[in-house]
Amino acid sequence: MVGIQRRVAIVTGGSRGIGRAAAERLAHDGQAVVIAYAGNDVEAKAAVEAIQARGGSAIAVKADVADEAAVAHLFDTAETTYGGVDVVVNAAGVMVLSPVAEIALDALDRMHRTNIRGTFVVNQQAARRVRDGGAVINFSTSVTRLALPTYAAYAASKAAVEAISLVLAKELRGRDITVNAVAPGPTATALFLDGKDEATIERMAKMNPLERLGTPADIAEVVSFLAGPARWINGQTLYANGGAA
């Protein structure tokens, strides 16, 4: 009897925050996971060991998502180690907050390099290599809808992610590959919490009717849904924000 082929997921930004929660959830779902990380070897090792301690299979690969050679190597490693790629979760991202009148343009360029070019490079390899029946999951933000002050540059970069996702979903016609974006609201990660005082955090937690911040596990649940059973959701942006309007 031939066994069912195990699905294989690449998770960029998978060593911390939402990316790590997504990697751990996909491993819990039975997928082999390749964690791509930018530079912190200690965090990447800890993420892999956490998955392995629960009986899952994972490796870590250092890769700059905006570097096409590094991303090609990432996919090569996934294919060599596990035989292919079925799911790509592109959670790597950079966020710098500043009013439009004051933002340093090098910070704008840095965000666009990771958030736009990085998404494009990862999705380019995904379009070439993800096996039929797979899923590509990119990360946007609810701020594209909430339009909060100081978020213009970040929201602009994530609006581009949504455009890439929708177009790629149509370009992969006939292959049974879904492409969607997840748009978290305020979520209790280091990326969100850094630089915010308690009053700001409390105010943002009250923006949704559930009156709390999201958790990485909340967002990982959406990723798990899109990576597996959600075969009829395609070319969409899912707002995972507790109902913030």
Q: List per-residue pLDDT tens for the chain, 245 residues long.
A: 344 679 999 999 999 999 999 999 999 999 999 999 999 999 999 999 999 999 999 999 999 999 999 999 999 999 999 999 999 999 999 999 999 999 999 999 999 999 999 999 999 999 999 999 999 999 999 999 999 999 999 999 999 999 999 999 999 999 999 999 999 999 988 878 887 889 989 998 999 999 999 999 999 999 999 999 899 999 999 999 999 97
The rounded distance, in Å, linking the Cα atoms of 48 and 41 is: 11
Residue 199 token pair: 């009053």
Q: What is residue 40's three-state secondary structure?
A: coil
The rounded distance, in Å, linking the Cα atoms of 74 and 79 is: 9
Q: What is residue 91's three-state secondary structure?
A: coil
Nearest to 12 by CA among 50, 86, 62: 62
* Residue 54, pLDDT score: 97
Q: Which superfamily is assigned to 8-237 in CATH?
A: NAD(P)-binding Rossmann-like Domain (3.40.50.720)
**Catalytic pick among 37, 151, 154, 239:** 154
pTM of the model: 0.94
* Residue 197, pLDDT score: 87
* Residue 1, pLDDT score: 35
In the residue annotation, 37 being an active-site residue is answered as no
* Residue 4, pLDDT score: 60
* Residue 206, pLDDT score: 92
Report CA torsion sign: 227, 230, 235, 237: negative
* Residue 189, pLDDT score: 86
Walk across the sheet containing 237-240 and list its strands.
58-62, 32-37, 8-12, 85-90, 130-139, 178-184, 237-240
Q: Specify whether the CB–CB gap between 123 and 136 falls below 8 A.
A: yes
